[in-house]
Amino acid sequence: MRLLTVLTALLVSTSISLSAVAETFTFTAIPDQDESRLQERFSKVAAYLEKELGVEVKYIPVKSYAAAVTAFRNNQVQLAWFGGLSGVQARELVPNSEAIAQGYEDQFFVTYIIAHHSTGLSKSEDFPTSIAGKRFTFGSKGSTSGRLMPEFYIRQALNKTPEQAFSRVGFSDDHSRTIALVQSGAYEVGAVNYKVWEDELAAGIIDPSQVSVIWKTPSYPDYQWSIRGDVDDRFGAGFKAKVAKTLLAISDPEILAAFPRQSFVKASNDDYQAIKDTATAIGLMDAD
């Protein structure tokens, strides 16, 4: 009887201690640059969020844009730094999920069309129709700046699909690789996130004698933090609002420079309706 009492007490004690263990708040990000840079950036974000939110926070890297969407859908992560398209795709799959913050610059994002010097192409205000027939690489298939928006303008200007317009079409999987592929001449022309281009140009990674910007798209909304609609049920009432407030309050120059963004501002699902409409129009609403 005494043994039974002791065992019962231990079970009750274990149950209480387990229930008292806070859940880990987990987030991810689309892999738009090489993994080491992403790890450095988001480790800082995780430490900041953990301190401000008062819960354990963990960053989980993923291998593709589609994997980021899947992790969000399956509740493996509750928060994600998405591009415009991947965010729209993810929120479509999770009821009541919301875009809650974006970089100030993400309100006015653009894509650069870049070309190898051997093409003889130079910068133009008008869409460079002479890219037709060249070897062209996009970024990831799920990228807003590396695929969705440049494909929209290619179709609009050339009245052809990319496969019809170019001698070869590739998908590099990230913006850094797009730049490297065009700079090496493996592809003659490519589409790249302007932020990654400017960052790598400043870092001396780009050789301007080999590759240059020949056109930029009109602006559109892009990257944003999206959060699942059920986080208040899991982490307590008001948690979603607290996460949004915490992201908007980021002021550490080191964290902002790692993105790079000058600040974060409010975002909403409505901000990305044009992205959703464009993706629907050219058949990219399904994550692939």
What DSSP string describes 129-163? GGGTTSEEEES-TT-IIIIIHHHHHHHHHHSS-HH
Q: How many CB atoms lie within 10 A of CB 283?
A: 8
pLDDT digits (tens, 9 = 90+) for 228-264: 999 999 999 999 999 999 999 999 999 998 888 999 9
Q: Counting Cβ atoms within 10 Å, is residue 63 exposed (0-12), middle (13-18) or buried (19+)?
A: exposed
With CA atoms as reference, report the closest residue to 135 among 202, 95, 185. 185
With CA atoms as reference, report the closest residue to 174 among 151, 198, 141. 141
**How many independent structural domains does the chain possess?**
2
* 287 located within any domain: no
Range of the domain at 130: 110-216
- What pLDDT does 41 receive? 86
Asked which of 216, 242, 270 is the last residue of a domain, the reply is 216
End-to-end CA distance of the chain: 61
pLDDT digits (tens, 9 = 90+) for 184-216: 999 999 999 999 999 999 999 999 999 999 999
Tell me the percentage of the chain whose pLDDT exceeds 70.
91
Tell me how many degrees the CA angle 229-30-274 measures, rounded to the nearest 5.
65
For residues 82 and 12, membership in a common domain is answered with: yes
Q: 200 near 44, Cβ under 8 Å? A: no
Rg over CA atoms, the chain: 22
* 139 located within any domain: yes
* 164 located within any domain: yes
Asked which of 216, 240, 265 is the last residue of a domain, the reply is 216
Q: How many CB atoms lie within 10 A of CB 242?
A: 18
For residues 145 and 194, membership in a common domain is answered with: yes
Residue 2 has pLDDT above 60, yes or no: no
SS3 228: coil
pLDDT digits (tens, 9 = 90+) for 16-29: 333 334 689 999 99
Asked which of 216, 241, 270 is the last residue of a domain, the reply is 216
Average pLDDT, the chain: 90
For residues 114 and 101, membership in a common domain is answered with: no
Indicate which CATH number applies to the domain containing 170: 3.40.190.10
Which residue would you say has higher pLDDT here, 282 or 279?
Answer: 279
* 286 located within any domain: no
Query: How, if at all, do strands 224-227 and 168-171 pair?
Result: unpaired
pLDDT digits (tens, 9 = 90+) for 103-154: 999 999 999 999 999 999 999 999 999 999 999 999 998 889 999 999 999 9
